[in-house]
Structure 1
């Protein structure tokens, strides 16, 4: 049995998975804040899963947002969790005696999506949440790149004289195609900003239509970049804004179809068929964490 944890800003979503990929048990609890609390909650979740299943675990995978050193298991920076320079992997390994691997949350979601959808070959998971980033997998193994930055499409500048991005550059794709971008472009609305925007656009509000179309074009640019640069077979749309479902997928495909009519190159890419929605009813990041390959796992000292 393998255990996978998705440690988010508000909750830990964790699963115990059999060797065949069957989810044996699932636990969700509040994460807490700060290194002591987060580590203690992580250990409590692992104990809960082993107790509920009455099985021993062979390994633990952890997905967590922020700057992660997957080789050492250290969390270098996870501001929403109050973690900075925390030896999460070694601490969990020492407390449990298990093999532990820690990875960025978007990367484990990419693994989980490929696993859940039964996809082999090169795939990209485009996470559209507060920010914009992608995870790349090939035959259900992560591709991190030379320095671990593969898939950081959100920080490609695309707008001349665009707004300043959180990364310090200007006009990055994340300033156009993300939840934070929508909050700036469509401010002051209760509930889900994206849902309200799409509802208003569907009702014919011209300002909402313009904001929605700009957002869709930004997401289309991210998909196009991933296909053209990495030649992935599919781009799986995930993250919080994937809950828009067909309301996002349909205009995305229409955007690609329009471009294909005037560009033989775009037509040859078959982008409409290569953009898919990742499942929203499964704990993708926790599932992916459970299937992390142990090539750089941390063991107890």
Structure 2
């Protein structure tokens, strides 16, 4: 049994995956704040999902978590939504769990899980639409990380020098157009779900909301074009919190892609709108992907020569 954990800013999603690749148990619990609380969240989640799966033994644990992960290490840095500046998560939990543990960025884990859920060969770009914008690329079931692990980090790619100011200091970044945090800041109206409020207000004819809705769709469409034009992936799968808008978001994005295709025979030939898919609501992609990453830790341990 392989366990996978997706540690989010408020909730942690945990799954148990059988050797066949089938998810046999799933639990969700609140994520603690700060390094010690995050470690305890991992231990609690492992205990809970093992109990749900009625599993006496586990082979590995994989963890997807926000922040920067030093390649090949279990060290998490700048996970600001968790109150973590620096934490060696593997060193903290592996001795207590007694099994191989792998930690990776949550978007990369989600990309791997999304590819597994699609159950199709070929290449896939995963575009995560949340507070920020990030992407990852999977080819034939394996993450493509690039030379230094930064493949897919397209959120701070500027697509309009006269666009909105981004927190990185540039103007017109994809994240400035479509990132939930940046858009909510420009909306500047109270509400628990500002992006949904924007779409609702736009439907009601609010001029400012119409502009923001168009900008969100423009940013998402730009991310899709970047993934196809740089990696020529077979499909781009949209995931993250903004996809809770479902068809409402997809319709706006398709309109942006179609508009650019009308102006360019080359873009028409790429059939971009037809290559876009949306992760089903509630799909445990990140937790499943984390479990698959954890299984890699088993392979690495067994590859180490002894003697």
Counterpart of 2:267 in structure 1 is 266
The CA deviation at 1:261 is 2.4
CA RMSD of aligned residues (A): 1.9
Please say if 1:256 is aligned against 2:257.
yes
Q: Are positions 1:286 and 2:287 aligned together?
A: yes
Give the corresponding residue for 1:174.
175
Could you tell me which runs of 5 or more consecutive residues in structure 1 were left unpaired when the two chains were aligned: none
User: What is the distance in 2 between the residues matched to 1:25 and 1:296?
Assistant: 21
Instruction: Say if 2:46 is the partner of 1:13.
Output: no
Alpha-carbon distance in structure 2 between the residues aligned to 1:31 and 1:113:
23
Distance 2:208 2:164 in 1: 19
**How far apart, in 2, do the equivalents of 1:146 and 1:206 lie?**
44
Cα deviation 1:235-258 (Å, max 9, x = unaligned): 111110001111111121122223
Encode CA deviations 1:5-54: one digit per residue, 9 max, x unaligned. Answer: 01111121101011222221112111112222211221122123223323
The residue number in structure 1 matching 2:89 is 88
CA contact (8 A) 2:3 2:294 kept: no
| Stretch of structure 1 that moved more, 53-62 or 202-211 | 202-211
Whole-Å separation in 2 of the counterparts to 1:61 and 1:18: 14
Q: Indicate conservation of the 8 Å contact 1:133/1:151, yes or no.
A: yes
Aligned to 1:129: 130
- With over 3 angstroms needed to count, the CA separation of the structure-2 counterparts of 1:51 and 1:212, relative to structure 1, is closer
Looking at structure 2, the residues matched to 219 and 137 of structure 1 have their Cα atoms a distance apart, in angstroms, of: 19
Of 8-17 and 37-46, deviating more is 37-46
| 3-state SS of paired residue (2:178) | coil
CA distance in 1, matches of 2:282, 2:172: 33
Report what 2:246 is aligned to.
Answer: 245
Residues 71, 296 of structure 1: 8 Å contact kept: no
Cα distance in 2 for partners of 1:187, 1:128 equals: 19
Distance 2:218 2:253 in 1: 8
TM-score of the two chains, using structure 1 as the length reference = 0.93
